[in-house]
Structure 1
Amino acid sequence: MNDRALRYFLAVVRAGSIRGAAAVLHVAASAVSRQVAEMEAACGTLLLERLPRGVVPTEAGRIIAEHARRQADEAALLQDRLQRLRGAQRGLVRIRCGAGFLPDLMRHGLAGFSAAHPGITFQVVLGTSDSILKAVAEGEADLGLAYNPQAHPEVDAALVTRQPLVALLPAGHALASQRRPLLLRRLAAEPVALLPADHGIRQMISRVEADGGFRLLPVLETDSFELQRRFVAARMGVAFLPRFALAPEEAGEMTAVPLADPLLAEAAAHLVVRAGRRLPEAAERLRDWLAKHLVCCRPG
């Protein structure tokens, strides 16, 4: 199995189709299909299961894909070490994160780190907790920032910090002066903004609603954290976000009130990496910087 064959096969597994991999690799689909066929002939077994819409790896294919990921990691480490021997302080760090992390990541993470390491560049892609874990596990991202994700066998948490979900209330709201955390059901009569049903935060809220036998009154559903904050600032109602998702300049327009429901109070921010992977120096330095400087990495 040469490097090209492994690279093509890994692209197929990541894209979920021959055509998708060909588009990423900028080659003809026939060239990718030929490489896969030759690998299957050499292994004496099928590596991909053909489905009506795309492909998934067989058990043998998963083993090959894992080998290909390790090869790609080692190649990146080799390039990184050679650059350092030449005195070059360069590198690309690929980050996947939830949208709520963006204000914190830019203001307290990348801005200071970039000033201290001007040769290092970044690729930031937004996603759900599940897609963040998948990208880190498959080597498509070096670092991930996810809010209350499920456990993943191929992902390790470099840092887990308790970051409770809070209710964002318009400034001057009658409940904003409460000294004790609120139960979510206290807000059942309030107009609220909620994330889509497939979002992890919405699923946590739905679980509390189901357990408590009540329903919130959503007047806005959006996957935009900024729009949710603007909803509250416009005094249209209440939103539910982790405290670190509140931009400092908006603090005077809204009040963050802790929620008492255990599921919401125990939520946590995770800084994640691929299990067993040796990170290139640039990613390693950024991981340590984020753990030290991000607000979401300080106990809430």
Structure 2
Amino acid sequence: MALPFDLRTLRVFVTVADRAGFSAAARELHVAQSAVSQTIANLERQLELTLFHRHERRITLTPEGETLYAHARELLERAEATHLAMRELHGLVKGEVRIGIPSMLGSYYFPPLLMGFKAQHPGIRLTVVEAGARRLQRMIADGELDLGVVIDDEQSRHMERRRLIREEMVVCVPRAHAFADRCSVTAEEFFQEPLVLFQDGYFHREFVDALSRQTGLDANIAFQSNLIPLTKAIVRQGFGITTFLRRVVDEPGLAAVSFASPAWLELSLAWARDAYLSRAESAFVEYVIAHREVL
């Protein structure tokens, strides 16, 4: 029996759903709005289902549309992966690697790796997105990123991962602080201080939240900022203390002090489990793993 749709029809349907409108979808697809509207009308007629609620200013998926959308996205992603695999049989390589890196790693750990890979593969474009580790996981799952650096924990078990680095999370204080010359600080002492923390979704914040749950102590949050230079300035001026990966505490006005029970994070390079890695992406993974000692 012939199917009531093809990949082009599914692409139109998914674009309309993503853009929540026929006009916006038409602009993205570079076709007339009437063509988009007709394609959706034909699809609904052939399926004998209503796929969209038509509101005055926007459209939303019906429950039937939600079901089709999930399957359509998967089919389109598989079709794109198949097309890429066939192109690579002719020696064509995807010209871009999209990688997500958390703030601390992007600023302090990854530049040598990115520059080294670029020197070896000048024809490959690297697009680097800086965001919290959890958001990066969602972006990989949604196909917005090819690769990303994630925390090696239960929430990343569903992904393909290659171990990158094991690094200590330390207490960061100004040089004049009472903790600065100590060998270690207890969690109880840490939580008695005003804290400068990243916002939710960053592994820096998750680490502190987990420590709070383990000890039953509440964090006294004085400032929230995802900007590392601003966080350092606040700590340096004595308005609070924070936690960083040890390498980030790299200036004379700040001191890095271990927790009494040293805290370590395992970080991995990850991608979606069923994703097809292009030659460019595979080359990037191989390069990073081969050169991770520079981290």
Whether the TM-score (by the shorter chain) exceeds 0.5 is yes
CA pair 109-159 structure 1, distance change in 2 beyond 3 A: same
Q: Does the C-alpha gap of structure 1 residues 174 and 129 become closer, same or farther in structure 2, counting only changes over 3 Å?
A: same
Distance in 2 (CA, whole Å) between partners of 1:5 and 1:150 is: 38
Query: Which residue is equivalent to 1:292?
Result: 290
Q: Which of 136, 139, 143 pairs up with 1:139? A: 143
Q: Give the superposed CA RMSD.
A: 3.6
Work out whether 1:62 is the aligned partner of 2:33: no
Offset of residue 73 of structure 1: 1.6
1:165 correspondence with 2:169: yes
Q: Aligned partners of 2:118 and 2:35: how far apart in 1?
A: 39
Alignment check: 8 A CA contact 2:166 2:267 kept: yes
Partner Cα distance (1:158, 1:38) in 2: 46
Conserved 8 A contact 1:47-1:61: no
Determine which structure has more spread, i.e. the larger CA radius of gyration: 2
- Whether the aligned pair in 2 keeps the contact of 1:18 and 1:33 (CA below 8 Å) is no
In the TM superposition, 1:1-300 aligns within 5 A as 1-11=5-15, 15=18, 17-18=20-21, 21=25, 24-27=28-31, 31-43=35-47, 54-55=60-61, 58-84=66-92, 91-104=95-108, 106-147=110-151, 151=155, 155-159=159-163, 161-171=165-175, 173-180=177-184, 182-197=185-200, 199-243=202-246, 246=248, 250-260=250-260, 265-294=263-292
Identity, % of aligned positions: 23
Deviation at 1:198, TM superposition (A): 5.1
Q: Which runs of 5+ in 1 are unaligned?
A: none
With the length of structure 1 as denominator, give the TM-score of the two structures: 0.76
Q: Shift in Å at residue 241 of structure 1?
A: 2.6
What is the distance in 1 between the residues matched to 2:211 and 2:59?
36
1:150 deviation in Å? 5.5
Segments of 5+ residues of structure 2 without an aligned counterpart are none
Partners of 1:155 and 1:35 lie apart in 2 by: 36
Query: What is the aligned length?
Result: 286
TM-superposed CA distance for 1:42, in Å, is: 4.4
CA positional deviation for 1:160: 6.0
Aligned CA distance change for structure 1 residues 4 and 281 (closer, same or farther; 3 Å): same
